[in-house]
């Protein structure tokens, strides 16, 4: 089920405000993330990666996310989770909620970094706070699967006692 939910992340645009170039017109921006998605859908992963790299060089957080995704899943390049993490971090620093969620996924699975469920939960929580619903699901699943399975109520809340 996780793969279906995780895949749904790619059907949505980045969170509002995540793309610093969003206010500029498409003509000013040149090729776009959407152009890369069309190339990928047509089966040309290398062309998609070239388009996303161009956007990433311009500071487009969504394009940086997709470059990370390509390295994560080996689309147009050999899979490289460390490079994926580097790209996801850069996109997250620019405000991309999907990148925050992807960082959480890499920490949860221990791909390219030592496994750290605490860091995964922090990243999922940050992405969920930015409006990324998949991150909220992943956080809930991580908590539900934790050995302690302890959810703490906010201070002063007596409803769970």
Lowest mean pLDDT among 25-29, 68-72, 74-78, 104-108: 25-29
Q: How many domains does the chain have?
A: 1
- Does residue 19 lie within any of the structural domains? no
- Does residue 130 lie within any of the structural domains? yes
Buried b (16+ CB within 10 A) or exposed e, 5-24: eeeebeeeebbeebbebeee
User: Which CATH number does the domain housing residue 126 bear?
Assistant: 1.25.40.10
- Does residue 160 lie within any of the structural domains? no
- Does residue 17 lie within any of the structural domains? no
pLDDT digits (tens, 9 = 90+) for 22-53: 444 444 445 789 999 999 999 999 999 999 99
- Does residue 16 lie within any of the structural domains? no
pTM of the predicted model as reported, rounded to 2 decimal places: 0.75
Domain range for 68: 2-11+25-145
């Amino acid at each position: 089920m996780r793969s279906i939910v995780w895949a749904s992340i790619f059907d949505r645009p980045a969170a509002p405000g995540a793309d610093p170039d969003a206010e500029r017109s498409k003509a000013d921006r040149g090729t776009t993330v959407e152009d890369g998605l069309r190339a990928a859908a047509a089966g040309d992963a290398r062309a998609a990666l070239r388009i996303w790299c161009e956007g990433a060089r311009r500071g487009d957080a969504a394009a940086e996310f997709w470059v990370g995704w390509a390295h994560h899943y080996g689309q147009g390049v050999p899979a490289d989770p460390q490079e994926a993490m580097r790209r996801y971090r850069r996109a997250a620093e620019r405000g991309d909620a999907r990148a925050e969620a992807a960082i959480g996924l890499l920490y949860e699975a221990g791909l390219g970094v030592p496994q750290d469920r605490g860091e995964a939960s922090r990243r999922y929580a940050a992405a969920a706070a930015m409006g990324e619903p998949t991150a909220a699901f992943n956080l809930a699943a991580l908590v539900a699967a934790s050995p302690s399975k302890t959810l703490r109520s906010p201070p002063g809340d007596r409803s769970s006692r």
